Structure 1
């Protein structure tokens, strides 16, 4: 077969970039649906399987993050060397299959192992998606495109919370897992049929040489490490709070499962959607003038997030709690567009998925692996003193981490202009 078509400039746009973005967004929504459904189902799962807060925290974070983090880099490398769209489609099928199997678990160990499988599947989804978006969208539109893709986080979190609550209340928690898994299994072949890679020089010697230079390259760039560890500390709080706040509402405010689902779902959908979109829009506008805004934006957001979360968690009126938590639910994930865009520009285009995989390894191992487990462990330790409110105070205890995340972003802003790789205009 002739090799010349793979070396041409990316002129053949099939499918349309917006269609690709829409398909990637839906896959990312499924990704977070499968993650967040566990949070709203915490109480019925704990009661059914007899779990402590620490055990559930391990299932909600550590079990998922262990293999998710470590498989992310090799699967990103595979995507850079072969087909990014193919790796994503396979990942959707694998994580959806394991999500469905979670509905059959009868013990802590079974559910822990099945969540490991979900993590392996989801490891192949995000980093290749970042790279595919960077292939389809020019630099001046890239932060907004990545922000639209990142809307999968609040939409998936919010929808997973609401749908999970209704299914668990009217049927049972096992059906919720099975239903979410089946949707993903059916979507995977449709994704593979519609989404195609942009033409690129697949497998050339120079391309492989560049690939194996990724890790030494990012190892020398301080901005990469500062962005990665700053985002991971923010994710430690964000993932932990997303998993546990529904249980705080049930325990400390005597809300029903459906009430907690509606309350948290509305916060995540409204606040999160605004925050993610604003982050991408502001990054495109401000980042073209000064690269440091890609780090300054999340820094400012996190400095506001922590005190507002604290005020919301300490309030007694549910209306006041909702109003106070709305803003930090927006600012908490405003970083997604700016930071993921900056990571794409620290390396050359052939290295993007692999660099994103390295970033996600750090972000998810610390953020997702530690956050839910840490809050659950603190809650168990405080149980004798605070009773049902132990989870509320455990959530408050981790909020100070946001200030350390903001400090790292301040340092990242100083290094980012020097580490930025300018992209040659498309032919």
Structure 2
């Protein structure tokens, strides 16, 4: 038993390490924006597209690649995925033009597409059910921590060795971890330890049967929309804060990367904190989950709009930091809403749909649209405009709250019917 527990924690440690590599490879680009812009004479729209293409591929491929991993083998899929994103990141170090860098970032997105869903599935399969919430929370925090490391370490390496070495370091780190993971974690070792990945309920149901149940109420649509728009805001800030600090505070890439890493860490703290507050208040009144989301949307709008209206200085950074804390704190509440509005048999598919909405509405367009606006009006003015997406997000969460009870009725009825069937059999 102790041996199995030790092996389970080893699986967790290696999976968490790959998660760090995932986000470090994804976010390191933001730390070298100023250097790429100067060397290749790129527009802000082009810089934004290099960041947004990764999120776009993650959003488009998460669902199909997760299904493929369930059938082909999750461990094999993880090792292959880590190898792809690491080699692609290493390839970015040799890019000689915007087009070559775009291709490299495209492949980074392909490799990273299914890691979040498949990685957590492997981890949860080797631990008791009672630890699932803790482990899931650790993975959420790990994404933010990896972003901090990617931006911070990337800025320091770029300042002292050049931007090409930033991609080289991240790529080599991922390749080493992937090799170790492939040796230590295998389907056979998981089985011999008495644990192993299980197929999610409903995973093999026909797609035509699942799709209508993922969009069955006004409230669940509002949760997808609100979460995606708040993700737009959070990812735009994460992508452009290094450049903002470089241009308006005069910080060199290393210091700008470290400072921007702090803001990324604040975003992660907000994600975890939003979920904790949502769970605590939701025990008394289920509608308060929506209220938390509305508060975070409105709060981020007010704080960030006010912050970017101020001149550079301590007061501005304080308001921006507070707004950043709330910018993606809706992630936890949104996931809780989706879980309560969709049948348990398709819970994993519903969360994959939420991930798709976050990617297509937020992760992919956030950095790119901000870059296009910056080309037209300047980065400072663009960052004054983008918090307006929180107006629509807040309205979506408010509308979802209003129709929440109606959305729960068919789900509750289905749960009762399922329970009767189980008793009869």
**How high is the TM-score relative to the length of structure 1?**
0.83
Question: What corresponds to 2:349 in structure 1?
Answer: 354
The structural deviation recorded for 1:275 is: 1.4
Partner secondary structure for residue 334 of structure 1? coil
CA shift at 1:72, angstroms?
1.3
Match of 1:157 in 2: 147
Distance 2:177 2:306 in 1: 41
The secondary structure found in structure 2 opposite 1:225 is helix
Local SS of the residue matching 2:205: helix
The alignment status of 1:77 with 2:72, answered yes or no, reads no
Give the Cα–Cα distance (whole angstroms) in 2 for the partners of residues 35 and 181 of structure 1.
11
Shift of 1:393: 0.7
Q: Structure 2 CA distance, aligned partners of 1:14 and 1:29?
A: 23
Tell me which residue corresponds to 1:248.
244
CA pair 403-242 structure 1, distance change in 2 beyond 3 A: same
Q: TM-score, normalised by structure 2?
A: 0.83
Aligned twin of 1:6: none
Q: 1-side partners of 2:60 and 2:214: how far apart?
A: 17
Taking a change above 3 Å as real, the CA distance of residues 328 and 28 of structure 1, as seen in their structure-2 partners, is: farther
Residue of structure 2 equivalent to 1:400: 388
**Root-mean-square deviation (CA), in Å?**
3.2
Match of 1:304 among 295, 299, 302: 299
- Give 1:268 shift: 2.2
Structure 1 residue runs without a partner (length 5+):
1-11, 383-389
CA gap of 1:128–1:34, structure 2 versus 1, over 3 A, is: same
Separation (CA, whole Å) in 2 of partners of 1:252 and 1:311:
17
2:326 pairs with 322, 331, 342, which one? 331
Partner Cα distance (2:150, 2:196) in 1: 36
Q: Which stretch shows the higher mean deviation, 408-417 or 36-45? A: 408-417
CA distance in 1, matches of 2:338, 2:120: 10
Give the distance between the partners of 1:20 and 1:35, measured in 2 at CA. Answer: 23
Q: Distance in 1 between matches of 2:387 and 2:13?
A: 34
Local SS of the residue matching 2:96: coil
Secondary structure, in 3 states, of the residue corresponding to 2:364? helix
Q: 1:14 to 1:346 in 2, by over 3 A?
A: farther
Q: For the residues of structure 1 that align with 2:237 and 2:79, how far apart are their CA atoms?
A: 30
Tell me the CA shift for residue 321 of structure 1: 2.7
Whether the 8 Å contact between 2:67 and 2:203 is mirrored in structure 1 is: no
Any conservation in 1 of the 2:235–2:362 contact (CA below 8 Å)? Answer: yes
CA contact (8 A) 1:201 1:207 kept: no
Note the 1:380-395 alignment, pairs <5 A: 380-382=375-377, 390-395=378-383
Q: Is the 8 A contact 2:152 2:258 kept in 1?
A: yes
| Structure 1 partner of 2:368 | 373
- 1:79 Cα deviation from its structure 2 partner: 3.2
Report the number of matched residues.
404
Q: Which runs of 5+ in 2 are unaligned?
A: 420-425
Give distance in 1, aligned partners of 2:14 and 2:169.
Answer: 20
Matches within 5 A, 1:17-416: 22-61=13-52, 63-129=53-119, 131=121, 143-192=133-182, 193-194=184-185, 196=190, 199=196, 202=199, 208-209=204-205, 213-269=209-265, 271-344=266-339, 346-347=341-342, 351-382=346-377, 390-413=378-401, 414-415=403-404
Distance 2:333 2:300 in 1: 17
The structure that is helix-richer by fraction is: 2
**SS at 1:399 equivalent:** helix
